[in-house]
């Protein structure tokens, strides 16, 4: 699959993360304290600039006490282009 598409999904993931953070009225630095992830790194994740690892995903979900799948709760469909 093309990297372009992976990065699109990363952006959707980041938007969902930001949505959750704002819903709880947390700043990046406030969230940092909840999950021990540097605020500038969280910022990169929210903008889809970091190809984060599984542990990081779980850590973020844990900070919000939600199931990790909640962070993937966005619209997305595979297109043929993704593989060409």
Partner DNA sequence: ATTTATGCGGTAAAATATTACCGCATTTTT
Partner DNA sequence: AAAAATGCGGTAATATTTTACCGCATAAAT
Residues that bind DNA (CB under 7 A): 27-30, 36-41, 43-44, 46-47, 49-53, 55-56
Residue 55, class by beta-carbon neighbours within 10 Å (0-12 exposed, 13-18 middle, 19+ buried)? exposed
Among 35, 41, 43, 47, binds a copy of itself (CB under 8 A): 35
Of 54, 62, 32, 34, which Cα lies nearest the Cα of 44? 32
33, interface contact from DNA, a copy of itself, none, CB < 5-8 Å by kind: none
Site string for a copy of itself, 59-78 (x = CB under 8 A): x--x--x-xxx--xx--xxx
């Amino acid at each position: 699959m093309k990297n372009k598409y992976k990065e699109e999904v990363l952006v959707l993931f980041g938007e969902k993360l930001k949505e959750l953070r704002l819903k709880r009225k947390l700043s990046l630095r406030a969230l940092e304290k909840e999950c021990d992830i540097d605020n500038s790194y969280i910022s990169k994740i929210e903008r889809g600039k970091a190809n984060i690892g599984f542990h990081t995903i779980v850590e973020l979900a844990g900070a919000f006490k939600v199931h990790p799948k909640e962070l993937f709760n966005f619209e997305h469909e595979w297109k043929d282009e993704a593989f060409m």
